[in-house]
With several copies, the nearest count.
Chain A
Amino acid sequence: MIEIKNVTLSYGDRTVLRDISLALSEHRIAIIGANGSGKSSFARLLNGLVLPTTGDVLIDGQNTRTHGKDIRQKVGFVFQNPDNQIVFPVVEEDLAFGMKNLGFPKEDIRRKTDEILARYDMSDLREHPAHLLSGGQKQLLAISGVLVMEPAYIVLDEPTTLLDLRNKRRVTEAIHALDQTVILASHDLDLLQDFDRVIVFDDGRIIADDRPENAIPYYIESMS
Chain B
Amino acid sequence: MDTKSIVYIALFAALTAALGLMPPISFAGLALPPITAQSLGVMLAGSIAGARRGGLAMLLFIALVAVGLPLLAGGRGGFGVFAGASGGFLLAWPISAAVIGYLIGRAPAAGFTLMAPMIAFGGIIVMYAVGIPWMAAVAGLPLTKAVTIMLAYVPGDLVKVILATIITRGVRRAYPAL
Report if A and B touch in the complex (beta carbons < 8 A).
yes
CA gap between A90 and B175 in the complex, in Å: 10
Least CB distance, B82 to chain A, in whole angstroms: 29
User: Among B171, B174, B176, which residue has its beta carbon within 8 angstroms of that of A130?
Assistant: B174
**Chain A residue total in the interface (Cβ 8 A):** 9
CB of B170 within 8 Å of the partner chain? yes
For the A-B complex, the count of residue pairs with Cβ-Cβ distances under 8 Å equals 19
CA gap between A12 and B177 in the complex, in Å: 9
Task: Establish whether residues A90 and B173, one from each chain, have CB atoms under 8 Å apart when the complex forms.
Answer: yes
Q: Please indicate which of the listed interface residues B171, B174, B175 has the most CB atoms of chain A within 10 Å of its own CB.
A: B174
CB of A131 within 8 Å of the partner chain? yes
**Closest Cβ neighbor of B174 among chain A residues:** A89
Which residues, 77 to 122 on B, are CB-close (under 8 Å) to A?
none
CA gap between A130 and B173 in the complex, in Å: 10
Measured between beta carbons, the chain A residues less than 8 angstroms from B170 are 88-89
Least CB distance, A17 to chain B, in whole angstroms: 17
**Closest Cβ neighbor of A88 among chain B residues:** B170
Residues 15-27 of chain B: 1 if any A CB is under 8 Å from the residue's CB, otherwise 0? 0000000000000
Residues 137-178 of chain B: 1 if any A CB is under 8 Å from the residue's CB, otherwise 0? 000000000000000000000000000000000110111110
Which residues, 38 to 80 on A, are CB-close (under 8 Å) to B?
none
CA gap between A175 and B30 in the complex, in Å: 57
**Closest Cβ neighbor of B169 among chain A residues:** A89
**Closest Cβ neighbor of B173 among chain A residues:** A89
CB of A129 within 8 Å of the partner chain? yes
Measured between beta carbons, the chain A residues less than 8 angstroms from B171 are 89
Residues of B within 8 A of A (CB): 170-171, 173-177
Q: List 19 A-B contacts (CB under 8 A).
A: A11-B177, A12-B176, A12-B177, A88-B170, A89-B170, A89-B171, A89-B173, A89-B174, A90-B173, A90-B174, A129-B173, A129-B174, A129-B175, A129-B176, A130-B174, A131-B174, A131-B175, A132-B174, A132-B175
